[in-house]
Amino acid sequence: MNSLLIAAIAAVLYIIAYHTYGRFLARKIFRIDPKAKCPSEMHYDGVDFVPTKKGVLFGHHFASIAGTGPIVGPAIAIIWGWVPALIWVVLGSIFMGAVHDFGSMVISLRNDGRTIGDLAGDIIGPRARVLFMLIIFFALWIVVAIFGVVIASVFSFFPESVIPVWLQSAIAIWLGYMVYHKGKSHIKYGIAATVLMYATIVFGAYVPVVLPAIGNLSPVGGWVILLLIYAYVASTLPVTVLLQPRDYINAFQLGVAMVLLLLGIAVTHPPMVAPATNWHPAGAPPIFPILFITIACGAISGFHCLVSSGTSSKQCDKESSAQGISYGGMLMEGLLAVIVIIACGAGIGLGLEKDGILFHGVDAFNQQYANWQTAHGLGAKIAAFVTGSGNMVAGLGLPHKVVVTLMGVFVASFAATTLDTATRIQRYIVAEIAESCKVPTLGKKHPATFIAVFTALLLAFSGGGGKGALALWPLFGAVNQLLAGLALLVITVWLARKKIPAIYTAIPMVFMIAMTGWAMKINLASFQAKGEWLLFSIGAVITLLQIWMVVEGVIVLMRLKLASITH
């Protein structure tokens, strides 16, 4: 099938969904009130609570939820065929992911900008709060450590991306100063900052930076340490200094990258060389339910509820902005995932060099996706996207070296945003846990951030070399999607308490909890068979916490149902 037709159909479906289902949710279910005061105004502190224009906040929100999630998931899930991956991305993002993100942001806006984990105590019960907070802490612990490794790996795979990614922070600080201290136009200066960033990409393409090994410390390990130091500093600065302006630049970068990719698809219009379906790839786990935990951010992701209720709700200027930021942001991420499917399923057919041999068409896809082992590694996921997208964009006549650098920077920049945001949210979670345990000193900004970063550092180096967090990668997908199901449980109970039809969140909730429970069962059996007892133990604990919290939620829903019948 022609890739251009796939992209066009997906884009049209997303536009229709935003103006129909998204509007229905805003008006009839979440009952958006444009006149309501938001936490950013009621609790303004100039650091975390800052009223922000819709366009600027959209940039922060999208850059935070995107990361490398909509890239690595589809880049491996296409091994089961492009049709199952595409269906899950399109339908999942419209009816599950966007609903999950929208609901998480709305209930936080209505409750002083508190995180959804903290709100679980008010909505379901005190025990649910503790259970949810533990699951969130564990999920963010993995996210911070893994994304540090992801960026470090990108720097190792594509040393040309090092200079542009680090200079982006300096450019972002300049942009924040000009906009917030000098009152300059955020659009004009945002464009100027983006142009500067692209100039650094051209420079970086010809000036790669390779970090040398220091003693027993590998280059990846060195980058992980530097990146976590960066995350500490970035996550404690006021959002207007670095977080918002950098994410605003990333929003422009995303727009440019997606336009280039769409133009590349239009010019090269490569046919899909990936199989439409491949139910039993060599060495791969079953497509059901593993597909639904492999593709996360492109369809639905639990991390999004933490961004929606953790940072975006604290910066939203008015409730009417929520649909565009959260529901619209998820649909935009879905479109990005569609482009990734096309890059890996069609763009890669334009040429893949392996072991000095150049492959084309179906042969190129088969070389990259020969079996589960060759497609499953972190490097393979990133390489599949960068190669396929680079082939399509190079069709526009741009130098291939610059295009590859551009895509490497694209991946690393969004991963850096996720790293920063996840560290900031983990600080909030540590603070909320510290408050519950009556040790407020640990909940202050710097102690909480230190706990967030230091625990991630321990995880990263638990296996030596800074890649220890990757040992928990098999659990990450299931835990992330479990988080989405539990967030939908909280939203469903919240709607039920307000006597608002909850079917629109209840169906996605049941689906996600069932799929993640099924997938976790498969993972636990695999861990046990391989003797991977650390993974087995952590997975078992998470499963028990899930079951406990679901039981708590069901009890509350049954009580509410009984109360409605008796009255």
Q: In sequence order, which ranges of 124-270 are alpha helices (DSSP H)?
A: 126-157, 162-180, 186-206, 219-236, 243-268
What's the pLDDT score for residue 470?
66
What's the pLDDT score for residue 407?
81
pTM assigned to the model: 0.89
* CA nearest neighbour of 131 among 423, 490, 400: 490
Cβ atoms within 10 Å of 283's Cβ, excluding its own: 13
Distance CA 555, CA 551 (A): 6
Distance CA 456, CA 461 (A): 9
What's the pLDDT score for residue 247?
80
Query: By the 8 A CB rule, do 71 and 85 touch?
Result: no
* CA nearest neighbour of 429 among 130, 133, 142: 133
What's the pLDDT score for residue 233?
93
Cβ atoms within 10 Å of 191's Cβ, excluding its own: 13
* CA nearest neighbour of 534 among 463, 452, 465, 482: 463
What's the pLDDT score for residue 209?
92
Cβ atoms within 10 Å of 464's Cβ, excluding its own: 11
Query: By the 8 A CB rule, do 284 and 23 touch?
Result: no
What's the pLDDT score for residue 566?
63
What's the pLDDT score for residue 463?
66
pLDDT tens-place values along the chain, 567 residues long:
789 999 999 999 999 999 999 999 999 999 999 999 999 999 999 888 999 989 889 988 887 887 777 888 898 899 999 999 999 999 999 999 999 999 999 999 999 999 898 899 899 988 888 888 888 888 888 888 888 888 888 888 889 889 999 999 999 999 999 998 998 988 899 999 999 999 998 899 889 999 988 888 888 889 999 999 999 999 899 888 988 888 888 878 878 888 899 999 999 999 999 999 999 998 888 999 999 998 988 899 999 999 999 899 999 999 999 999 999 999 999 999 999 999 999 999 999 888 788 999 999 999 889 888 776 666 667 778 888 998 999 889 888 778 878 888 888 887 888 888 889 989 988 998 888 888 889 889 999 999 999 999 988 887 666 666 666 666 778 888 989 999 999 999 999 999 999 999 999 999 999 999 999 999 899 889 988 887 788 888 888 888 888 899 889 989 888 776 665
What's the pLDDT score for residue 174?
95
Burial of 520 (0-12, 13-18, 19+ CB in 10 A): buried
Query: By the 8 A CB rule, do 48 and 318 touch?
Result: no
Structure tokens at 113: 């900008």
What's the pLDDT score for residue 129?
85
Amino acid (1-letter code) at residue 262: L
Distance CA 196, CA 53 (A): 23
